[in-house]
Amino acid sequence: MMMSGNSLLNILAIETSSQACSAALLSHTQLLQRYQVAPRGHGDLLLNMIDDVMNEAHLKPAQLDAVAFGRGPGAFTGVRIATSVAQGIAFGADLPVVPVSTLAALAQAGHRLSGYQDMLCAIDARMGEVYWGAYQIRQGVVSLLTEELVCRPEQVPLPGSGEWQGLGNGWDVHAEELMNRVPVQLDVKDAGMLPRAEDVALLARQAVENGQTVAAEQALPVYLRDKVAEKRRQ
């Protein structure tokens, strides 16, 4: 996939927060990706995917500018895999890391593929809940309107004005409850959408250009249920 833009960055991105496993390499204006839906197969697939895109671009880890990963919300095991692999590569090659929201990656995909400007992203969180985030495109950049959260579909916060599009498999699993709560425009392809490493890479490029990176030891996953538990304790 060829891209427009003048960025000369080399960014490796990995995303394993859902049933899908993917690795992508943004190398100058080219974006290479490996993607496969394989529940419980991430540990076996990911390292080979990384090797594939790195070899295709004829790059070594030391030639990267950053490593990015989908930091959640998502499946606990998958998010941990992405975090630990990103940290390992970054430690080994002394690279900065960009943790990227998986909900923001969905919004980036909606804008990239369909030109959407107003997006309500929902990922099935199991236990009758969804991970939820409202995003808008502002000056070409994905912007979160309020904090990401986990809640029951019938309790998602109502968005402000906009031509809202539903994105993510939360709209597939909890379609009736969500549509009753927040009527949106919804396409079948969008309701089945899972986060992809290519969108993690594109968001990471913006972050690197803006100096928004962290050291490998500060690259942490985000578990929204942890935040809920902490608020309840407080």
The percent of the chain in helix, strand and coil, each rounded to the nearest 5, is: 40, 25, 35
Q: Where in the chain is the domain with CATH 3.30.420.40?
A: 10-101+194-233, 114-191
For 114-191, which CATH superfamily applies? ATPase, nucleotide binding domain (3.30.420.40)
Signed CA dihedral, 33, 86, 228, 206: sign only: negative
Give the residue among 114, 112, 126, 123 at the shortest CA–CA distance from 148: 123
Strands (E), 28-163: 30-37, 66-70, 97-100, 118-124, 130-138, 141-144, 149-151
* Contact yes or no for 122/114 (Cβ under 8 A): no
Q: What is the pLDDT of residue 116?
A: 96
What residues pair up with 150 in beta bridges, in sequence order? 131
Residue 3 has a pLDDT of 45
Please state, in angstroms and rounded to a whole number, the distance separating the CA atoms of residues 181 and 191.
Answer: 16
Q: Look up tokens 């959407």; give the residue.
A: 116
- Domain 10-101+194-233, CATH homologous superfamily name and number: ATPase, nucleotide binding domain (3.30.420.40)
Backbone phi and psi for residue 37, each to the nearest 5 degrees, phi listed first: -85, 115
Tens of pLDDT along the chain (234 residues)? Answer: 544 444 689 999 999 999 999 999 999 879 999 999 998 889 889 999 999 999 999 999 999 999 999 999 999 999 999 999 999 999 999 999 999 999 999 999 999 999 999 999 999 999 999 999 999 999 889 999 999 999 999 999 999 888 999 999 999 999 999 999 998 999 989 999 999 999 999 999 999 999 999 999 999 999 898 654 444 443
